[in-house]
């Protein structure tokens, strides 16, 4: 223990300086934040509109060199992966600097919940446009759903979403877990990771194990995703000359704008999302609670130590909640018991709850229910100037 970070000393809260965005209050609009339709995002927005049928928006030359595949093979494979609903081009935003709080919540159902009640609630979560992401768990786990909202204020979350379902007969509890640090999401290090911003942790060993299952993707497909997600600069992700041809805009300007927004400001992350449901894979989620007397600096130190492990797909660090972390791994290709024992090896850990997820509802507002023909359908919700408590009072 090098420092104690004691109040009243020069070390006071000094550990906060280690991070891109200090863990602090939620939903503060920071100066310098730009809107989703700002010119800095033109390159991404064009690519998002065309990649489904025109994979040339990606830097195929770069991917070819990284994977050893021909440019034509890369193009064919990207198109097929999208058509098979294995991938989606998405943009993660650091919402806690954009004036939103990132509020996740854990739902536990009662043991006597009927299949009809579970199905109805699952459909409600999938179809509620205010819920920007979420995971369904299989029956028999320690909890049943892990969903999240970006909201301008806490009251809007409670009145606009939670109170609309939490009083159903089948609900045992709803625990709100505000996100203090988004460390990793979909195997990509996010804004609050201490190191390796944007690094993709889907390793070659895991890719080989999943490819051997013969469920629709091989090692070459995974290598393409790895190459796209692990570009040293966002300037290597797209072919800006192709984007210029499609839009009539200046290639160099679009490239420099996106580099500033991503590499420099670290406010957004364009990335390839891997849809694990499409390969019939499962994620094991671990909900970790620390003893209440654990100091904040130690909680963050534990999170940083765990974040070094490449098998974690998601890593959320919570504040002001019953629980401290939510982590997940792919069940296929991992030693689940060893991972749980790793978590329990920390003396500060009071409890670890587990559940298995076979599907995700949305990917930061982009729908994943291809069975309903709504894959990539997106409604970006914003409760600015809205008072959901008043709407609830008026019966809307």
Query: Would you say residue 373 lies in a domain?
Result: no
> Considering the domain boundaries, does residue 396 fall inside one?
no
For residue 1, the tally of other CB atoms under 10 A from its CB is 6
Here the tokens at position 356 are: 């298995």
Q: Does a structural domain hold residue 8?
A: no
Give per-residue pLDDT as tens, 364-381. Answer: 899 999 999 999 999 878
For the stretch 26-73, pLDDT in tens is: 777 888 888 888 999 999 999 999 999 999 999 999 999 999 999 999
Decide if 46 is inside a domain. yes
- The answer as to whether 134 is a domain residue is no
Q: Which residues pair with 352 in a beta bridge?
A: 288
Distances, alpha carbon 167 to alpha carbons 112, 170, 174, in Å: 15, 8, 10
Query: Which residue's structure tokens are 């004036």?
Result: 99
Tell me the sheet residues that pair with 283.
Answer: 330, 357
> For the chain, what is the domain count?
1
Residue 246 lies in a domain: yes
Q: Which two three-digit tokens encode residue 231?
A: 């570009």
φ, ψ (nearest 5 deg) of residue 262: -100, -65
- Cα–Cα distances in Å, from 89 out to 62, 224, 265, 274, 358? 17, 13, 20, 9, 21
* Segment (H or E) for 73: helix 71-83
Considering the chain, what percentage of its residues have pLDDT values greater than 90?
83
- For 104, the enclosing helix (H) or strand (E) is strand 101-109
Is residue 260 domain-resident?
yes
Query: What's the pLDDT score for residue 278?
Result: 97
Range of the domain at 223: 39-93+193-276
Q: What spatial distance separates the first Cα and last Cα of the chain, rounded to whole Å?
A: 54
- pLDDT at position 394 over 80: no
In the structure encoding, which two tokens stand for residue 103, read together? Answer: 């509020």
61-111: pLDDT as tens digits: 999 999 999 999 999 999 999 999 999 999 999 988 888 999 999 999 999
Strand, coil or helix: 72: helix
Question: Strands, E, within 223-371: which ranges?
Answer: 268-274, 283-290, 314-318, 325-330, 349-357, 359-363, 366-367
Q: Which two tokens stand for residue 208?
A: 């080989």
Beta carbons of 27 and 94 less than 8 angstroms apart: no
How do residues 116-140 score in pLDDT, each as one tens digit? 999 999 999 999 999 999 999 999 9
In a domain, 272, yes or no: yes
pLDDT band, residue 143 (cuts 50/70/90): very high
**Per-residue pLDDT, 392:** 60
Residue corresponding to tokens 């939670």: 162
Are residues 93 and 268 in contact, defined by beta-carbon separation less than 8 angstroms? yes
For 275-316, how does the pLDDT look when each residue is reduced to its tens digit (9 = 90+)? 999 999 999 999 999 999 999 999 999 999 999 999 999 999
């Amino acid at each position: 223990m090098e420092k104690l970070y004691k109040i009243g000393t020069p070390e006071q809260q000094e550990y906060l300086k280690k991070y891109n965005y200090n863990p602090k209050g939620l939903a503060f609009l920071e100066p310098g934040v730009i809107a989703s339709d700002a010119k800095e995002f033109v390159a991404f927005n064009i690519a998002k509109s065309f990649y489904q049928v025109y994979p040339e928006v990606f830097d195929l030359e770069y991917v070819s060199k990284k994977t050893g595949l021909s440019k034509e093979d890369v193009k064919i494979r990207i198109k097929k992966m999208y058509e098979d609903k294995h991938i989606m081009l998405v943009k993660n935003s650091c919402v806690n600097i954009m004036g939103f709080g990132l509020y996740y919540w854990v739902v536990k159902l009662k043991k006597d919940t009927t299949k009809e009640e579970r199905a109805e609630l699952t459909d409600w979560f999938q179809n509620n446009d205010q819920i920007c992401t979420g995971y369904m768990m299989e029956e028999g786990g320690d909890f049943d759903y892990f969903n999240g909202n970006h909201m301008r204020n806490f009251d809007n979350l409670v009145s606009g979403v939670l109170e609309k379902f939490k009083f159903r007969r089948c609900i045992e509890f709803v625990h709100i877990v505000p996100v203090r640090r988004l460390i990793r999401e979909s195997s990509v290090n996010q804004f609050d990771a201490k190191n390796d911003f944007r690094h993709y942790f889907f390793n070659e060993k895991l890719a080989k194990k999943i490819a051997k299952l013969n469920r629709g993707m091989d090692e070459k497909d995974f290598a393409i995703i790895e190459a796209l997600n692990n570009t040293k600069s966002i300037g290597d992700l797209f072919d800006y000359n192709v984007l210029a041809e499609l839009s009539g805009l200046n290639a160099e300007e679009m490239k420099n704008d996106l580099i500033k927004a991503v590499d420099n400001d670290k406010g957004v992350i364009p990335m390839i999302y891997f849809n694990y449901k499409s390969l019939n894979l499962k994620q094991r989620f671990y909900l970790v609670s620390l003893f209440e007397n654990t100091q904040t600096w130690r909680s963050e130190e534990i999170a940083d130590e765990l974040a070094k492990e490449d098998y974690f797909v998601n890593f959320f660090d919570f504040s002001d909640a019953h629980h401290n972390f939510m982590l997940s791994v792919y069940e296929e290709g991992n030693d689940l018991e060893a991972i749980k024992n790793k978590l329990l090896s920390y003396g500060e850990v009071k409890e670890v709850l587990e559940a298995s997820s076979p599907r995700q509802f949305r990917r930061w507002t982009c729908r994943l229910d291809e069975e309903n023909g709504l894959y990539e359908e997106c409604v970006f919700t914003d409760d600015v100037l809205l008072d959901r408590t008043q709407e609830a009072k008026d019966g809307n």
